[in-house]
Amino acid sequence: MADDVILTGDDLGRELQSLSGWEVRDGWLRRTYTTPGWPHTLMLVNTIGYIAESSGHHPDLSVGYAQVTVKLQTHRVKAITTHDTTLARKIDEVVLWKPEAGSPLTGYPKRWVH
């Protein structure tokens, strides 16, 4: 198990600058994603679950019809650590990915996860 590097003050502020859409509230690093609707919400939850399980670090999720709120905090130290910011970056990388312009992949025609 890697060491828990707790992030506070300026260190946490610097991390937040590179985590667009994420905020710290009530001691949790959190972000709400919106989706086109329920089927996409379920796919998003499953994708986040897969990423979390493969990383061995697990968020708390709140799920609604067209939104998922991800809350990250390292449970064993009850604080935000580098484990949380690393997982937040990986979640964003995967769930916000869309094909680039000119790609043979066309992407989903409606508004995707954001």
- For the whole model, what pTM was predicted? 0.91
Identify the H or E element spanning 90: helix 82-95
Q: At what angle do helices 38-55 and 82-95 cross, to 10 degrees?
A: 140
Could you read off the pLDDT of 4-43 as tens digits, one per residue? 899 989 999 999 999 999 999 999 999 999 999 999 999 9
Strand order in the sheet with 67-72: 23-25, 28-34, 67-72, 60-64
Structural domains for the chain: 9-95 (3.30.1360.20)
Could you read off the pLDDT of 39-58 as tens digits, one per residue? 999 999 999 999 999 999 99
What CA–CA distance (Å, rounded) separates 55 from 49? 10
